[in-house]
Amino acid sequence: MVKDVRKIKTERDIQQALLTLLTQKTVRQITVADICQTSLTSRSTFYAHYIDKYDLLENMVAVHTTMFAQQVHVRFMQMIDGQIDELVQGLLADMADKRPAIQILFTIHEDHADLQANFRSLLLKEWQRFIAPYGNAMQVPADLMATMGTNVQMTVLEWTLAHGDVSNAAVADAIDTIRKAVLLQIQPATN
């Protein structure tokens, strides 16, 4: 079953409209009429695709979450010690075209639509899987270090989303220092 192009275009326009409006108003302030006006679609068409504006928002967050989940999983599998930050850099490269959307959605924190929280949750899960084998030998609680690692990566991710790249030497240094500290806690023998 192939989707009619009109559906694809309508949904694309509606989603883009919501992103645009989110840079101007809060979710609550945005009306369905606003979205339709901006996207050049009629309200009846909107309701043919989404239950309401929250359904639209949750849908968009879900799509990006799924994409991130798949990528983060694949990349973590390929990960070698000491290249954890490269994971985030690689992810950012893959998401290049979605950057504006992700950047906007990161500012939205609704009950069932919180992309930032989803990303953090996915990264945390992978960190926990990564740390698990070392768990017993560690001096520091595994969950704590997993959270630390996650937060460092989220920081890199958000900084890069906002500034385009981690070209700033000072920032790169700061992150690297923290990264090494975190890894040292996990693998005291190596390095």
Partner DNA sequence: GACAAAGTGTTCGAAAACCAACGTTTAATT
Partner DNA sequence: AATTAAACGTTGGTTTTCGAACACTTTGTC
Burial class (CB in 10 A: 0-12, 13-18, 19+), 95: middle
Residues 107-166 that bind a second copy (CB under 8 A): none
d(CA 155, CA 175): 9
Q: What is the DSSP letter of 97?
A: G
> Which one of 8-16, 19-27, 145-153, 168-176 is the stretch in contact with a second copy (CB under 8 A)?
8-16
Residues 95-154 that bind DNA (CB under 7 A): none
In degrees rounded to 5, what are phi and psi of residue 169?
-60, -45
> Which one of 4-12, 86-94, 134-142, 169-177 is the stretch in contact with a second copy (CB under 8 A)?
4-12
- Can you say how many angstroms the Cα of residue 125 is from the centroid of all Cα atoms in its chain? 14
What Cα–Cα distance (Å) separates residue 155 from each residue in 17, 111, 119, 152, 176?
28, 22, 12, 5, 12
Instruction: Give me the least distance between CB of 32 and DNA, in Å please.
Output: 4
Using CB distances below 5 to 8 A depending on partner kind, what does residue 4 bind out of a second copy, DNA, none? DNA
Residues 27-56 that bind a second copy (CB under 8 A): 40-42
Residues that bind a second copy (CB under 8 A): 5, 8-9, 13, 40-42
Residues that bind DNA (CB under 7 A): 2, 4-7, 9-10, 31-33, 40-45, 47-49, 51-53
